[in-house]
Amino acid sequence: MNTAESAALELELKQRNWTKAGDEKTADLVLLNTCSVRITAETRLKGRLAYYQSLKKKVLPNTFTLVLAGCMASRLGEKLKKAFSAIDYVMDTDSRAIFPEILEAIELGRKFQASEEKPVFSFSSSHLEEGAFRSFVPIMHGCDNYCSYCIVPYVRGREVSRSPKSIEEEIALLAEKGVREITLLGQNVNSYQYENLDFPGLLHLIAVWIKGSSISWVRFLSANPRDFSAETIKLMAENSCFCRHIHLPVQHGSNNILAAMNRAYTREHYLALIKELRKAMPEISISTDILVGFPGESEEDLLEVLSLMEEVQFLYSYMYHFNPREGTAAYKLPGRIDEKTKRERLSRVIALQKRHTLEQLQKRLGCKEQALIEGISRKNADELICRTEKDEMVVFPGKGDSIGSFMEVQLKSLRGHTFRAVPIV
């Protein structure tokens, strides 16, 4: 989501004839678009703010405007502004509509005065990065789920769904630009509801809108297992434009911990959903998020995670251990797990996922796949890097003039978790 929002902010700058500075020392504006999902992101940002504070005060006094945007601006904006006087403006997730006004003030050499009225969130009209052939398309904002460990509802607010007219207009613009793949975005993307239009209904419209256009692949994330309907599965299976990959965060394998997380589904529900997805689309690959070391987690709970992983066989997982976030319900829960135990449990999850990933990929050797060419490999200038619809990375010999096009390839060998392939002419 932050990537899409950063692209929208950059587009606003370009429309006002701003250009990228070589570095911060030659910039008129430094814009920090921030994330609060992980505490590590907040820690890194404070380090950056300290750097800019020193730069602005001691090295380049009053030479650039510093704007703090995004989730940390929503969560800690005023506190950070007091701690780091170099921050000129705080622009939270609901306030992006004032960005053009801030830019105008900078251009005119005056101070921007924000209105006292509470801002209302609005979607940007486009999130395309210049020259890109893949694009994010946000369809909703915020989250109503209030998982006990998650800060997102507190920094992004309640769910707001984007109008289908606005979504259609952005997709039409992307098709005009020759975009090949779009990813629908939302903190809880499949709870989309605009008036009488739900998520499966929107997917049906999108399949119609892109027919005959440059856009061949559609992905979406992040989906909540609780809201993943039979209608969504049916639409995916019936329309080849929807990639045969789904990222479906499970978070844990123990019903006790899932309840404490306020995930609102059970292990049995999740496994039944996986079964239905694979019944409708046997070729689908599945990835997930896994959080271990949650307060009250026992060794038996962790074994439930490992057994669920064995049963599902995820292609890959984003794995992390619990870090208490002040302001969330889990912050006050008793039974915190010590750091050593959390790291040890996480290492076991990571080791199992590495084995599953390798086994999954080895089974695919010899298969033929359509792949979207993303660019030139950083390790070998004579190779192209691409991605299959199952979200597998592939490299094969080729030249840069085919970037942004589809190529049928045969998966011949593995280098780490990346396939080496040959094009099928």
Per-residue pLDDT tens over the stretch 223-250: 999 999 999 999 999 999 999 999 999 9
Query: Residues 387, 390, 391, 392: is their CA dihedral positive or negative?
Result: negative
Burial class (CB in 10 A: 0-12, 13-18, 19+), 252: buried
The pTM is what?
0.85
pLDDT of residue 139 exceeding 80: yes
Per-residue pLDDT tens over the stretch 160-178: 999 999 999 999 999 999 9
Q: How confident is the model at residue 310 (pLDDT cuts 50, 70, 90)?
A: very high
At 97, the amino acid letter reads: A
CATH architecture classification, 2-108? 3-Layer(aba) Sandwich (3.40)
CATH number for domain 134-363, candidates 3.30.565.10, 3.80.30.20, 3.40.720.10, 1.25.40.10: 3.80.30.20
Q: 204-208, 278-282, 376-380: which range is least confident on average?
A: 376-380
Residue spans per domain, the chain:
2-108, 134-363, 368-423
Closest CA to 138 of 318, 287, 286, 8: 8
Instruction: State which of 6-20, 73-87, 350-364 shows the largest mean pLDDT.
Output: 350-364
pLDDT of residue 63 exceeding 80: no
pLDDT at 119: 67
Phi, psi of 399 (to 5 degrees): -110, 160
pLDDT at 117: 66
CATH 2.40.50.140 fits 368-423, yes or no: yes
Greatest CA separation found in the chain? 63
pLDDT at 9: 83
DSSP assignment, residue 162?
Answer: P
pLDDT of residue 205 exceeding 80: yes
Phi, psi of 17 (to 5 degrees): 70, 25
pLDDT at 7: 77
pLDDT at 37: 67
pLDDT at 64: 85
**Distance in angstroms (rounded) separating the CA atoms of residues 84 and 211:** 50
pLDDT at 28: 87
